[in-house]
Amino acid sequence: MTGSPATAEEAVERLRSLREGERAFGDVCRHGADAVPPLAALLAGPTEAVGQPRELAAEALAVIGGPAAADALLAALEDSAARDGRLPPVLREAESGVLSSLARALAELKDPRAPDALSRILWKRCHAGCLAALASFEDPRLVGFAVRCLRDGATSGPAAEALRLYGAASVAPLAETLGRPRLVRGAEPPTSAAGRALAATLLGELGGVGAGPALAAALDDPAPEVRLAAAVALARLGPDEASRAAPELARALGDSDTRRASEAEEALATLVPGAARALVPLLGTEAADEVAVRARLRALSLLGRLPSTEAVPVLATVVGHPDRRVRFAAATALGRSGSRAAAASLEALARDADGEVRSRARAALAIIAERAARPPALP
């Protein structure tokens, strides 16, 4: 092609240079169809630790376009996918990047043969780039592949994004996945449980027919992360569903995983009307194991975040609790409420046998008194 500073072969050769490759990209594209054969040859070359030259070759073919470029991309896609099982880990990661570039290039060209080629790859393995490319074609096969890939740690995020795009069509497969743990030697691998928890989260986002019953059934799931995800998702569907989810969310407050316990607390605070009622069973006076103590103290902290009309009557029931940690947490929560209705309970705690409890209650009473003395805000 006239005006180009080098032959097509020479321009493509410059793509191999990590220093010059990106600068050479424009020259390659300006050669148009003449660059397709050397670009195809570059893509057919060996897998290297740095995949940039072959990724640039795929992008150049997408820019050039036309039947020959699409043929070269399809051939390279099949070749790249076939290499996966034969490569050591460091090269497999680089080849995965090349495969993503090839899939993306075919999606940009909208070649009608691409969905079948991508589906053949996804039938054998999960791959984020191939999932994203197939989603761009709005191919119905995508849902089945994406639901399966939720259980694959490397592709669960892209799979979830694809399922969100497909909306209602994703609900039934997600509900089925949620209720089917995949056992290996009698136990469920962590990636499988995480994938089912993500399926629950997606059902809460998508809603629709079938989402509620599937999530309600998962409240009895053996995996704690699945139960919690199902409870949070169910609470998102509406007030009635939130009431059904509340007991499981309350139980999760005692989880040794602080992330899960915090997630349960946030859901109770923001999604469950009348959450204080669900916390009452956690505040008993009986001797408690470590899990129950964690749940009890986190429940008291949560009560300090809830509306005072809801929280103060519940907190009043524990001012005589035998555990000083409970009385101290109650004084903190009552003070956080800022309500004058909390004064009677705080006065009782201000006479507590424990000095730290007395100090916390007196400080809370002083804050409430100071607020009560302020003139009302002007309208």
The tens place of each residue's pLDDT in the chain, 379 residues long, gives 444 457 999 999 999 888 887 888 999 999 999 999 999 999 999 999 999 999 999 999 999 999 999 999 999 999 999 998 789 988 999 999 999 999 999 999 999 999 999 999 999 999 999 999 999 999 999 999 999 999 998 999 999 999 999 999 999 999 999 999 999 999 999 999 999 999 999 999 999 989 999 999 999 999 999 999 999 999 999 999 999 999 999 999 999 999 999 999 999 999 999 999 999 999 986 767 888 899 999 999 999 999 989 999 999 999 999 999 999 999 999 998 888 899 999 999 999 999 999 999 999 999 888 887 777 666 6
The answer to whether residues 292 and 345 belong to one domain is yes
- Look up residue 320 and give its two tokens: 């005589």
- Shared-domain flag, residues 349 and 302: yes
Nearest to 33 by CA among 64, 73, 75, 76: 64
Number of domains in the chain: 3
Among residues 271, 295, 322, which one ends one of the domains?
271
Per 3-state DSSP, the chain is made up of helix, strand and coil in percentages (nearest 5) of 75, 0, 25
Is residue 244 a part of any domain in this protein?
A: no
Same domain, 305 and 333: yes
Instruction: Give the domain CATH number at 304.
Output: 1.25.10.10
- What pLDDT does residue 377 have? 63
Residue 6 lies in a domain: yes
Specify the CATH number for the domain of residue 14: 1.25.40
Do 80 and 115 lie in one domain? The reply is yes
> Is residue 259 classed exposed, middle or buried when 0-12, 13-18 and 19+ CB atoms within 10 A define those classes?
exposed
CA distance 274 to 243: 9
Q: Quick: pLDDT tens for 181-230.
A: 999 999 999 999 999 999 999 999 999 989 999 999 999 999 999 999 99
Residues 6 and 120 in one domain: yes
**Cβ–Cβ under 8 Å, residues 114 and 74:** yes
The model's pTM: 0.85
Residue 275 CB: number of other CB atoms within 10 A? 27
* Position 218 in a domain: yes
Residue range(s) defining the domain that contains residue 212: 140-181+189-235+263-271
Token digits of residue 363? 């400080």
Residue 120 lies in a domain: yes
99 plus 171 within the same structural domain: no
Domain identity same for 168 and 225: yes
